Amino acid sequence: MATQRMLDFLATRRPESPCLVVDLDVVQENYHAFEKALPDSKIFYAVKANPAPEILRLLASLGSCFDTASIAEIEMALNAGATPERISYGNTIKKERDIERAYALGIRLYAVDCMEEVEKVARAAPEARVFCRVLTDGRGAEWPLSRKFGCVPAMAVEVLRRAKALGLDPYGVSFHVGSQQMELAAWDSALADAQAVFAALAAEGILLKMVNMGGGFPTRYLRDVPAAQAYGQAIFTALRKHFGNRLPETIIEPGRGMVGNAGVIKSEIVLISRKSDDDELRWVYLDIGKFGGLAETMDEAIRYPIATGHDGGETAPCVLAGPTCDSADVLYEKAPYPLPLALTIGDEVLIEGTGAYTTTYASVAFNGFEPLKAYVI
Ligand X SMILES: *Cc1c(COP(=O)(O)O)cnc(C)c1O
Tell me which residues touch ligand X (CB under 6 A).
46, 48-49, 67, 90, 176, 179, 214-217, 253-257
Residue in the shown chain whose Cβ atom is closest to ligand X: 215
Per-residue three-class SS string for 195-230: HHHHHHHHCCCCCCCEEECCCCCCCCCCCCCCCHHH
Q: From the CB of 265, what's the least distance to ligand X, in Å? A: 18
Nearer to ligand X, 170 or 254 (CB): 254
Is 270 or 295 the residue whose CB approaches ligand X more closely?
A: 295
Minimum distance from CB of 158 to ligand X (Å)? 21
Nearer to ligand X, 90 or 323 (CB): 90
Q: How far is the CB of 169 from ligand X (least distance, A)?
A: 19
Helices (H) and strands (E) in the chain, counts: 10, 18
Among 258, 335, 347, 272, CA closest to 304 = 335
DSSP-derived 3-state class of residue 187: helix
- Please give the span between the terminal C-alpha atoms of the chain, in angstroms, as a whole number: 15
- Closer CB to ligand X, 144 or 340, in the complex: 144
Whether 132 sits among the annotated catalytic residues: the reply is: no
In the complex, what is the shortest distance from the CB of residue 67 to ligand X, in angstroms, rounded to a whole number?
A: 5
Q: Which amino acid is at 209?
A: K
Distance CA 266, CA 248 (A): 44
Query: In sequence order, what are the residues at sequence separation of 6 or more whose Cβ sits closer than 8 angstroms to the Cβ of residue 15?
Result: 9, 21, 266, 373, 375
Q: Which residues are catalytic?
A: 325
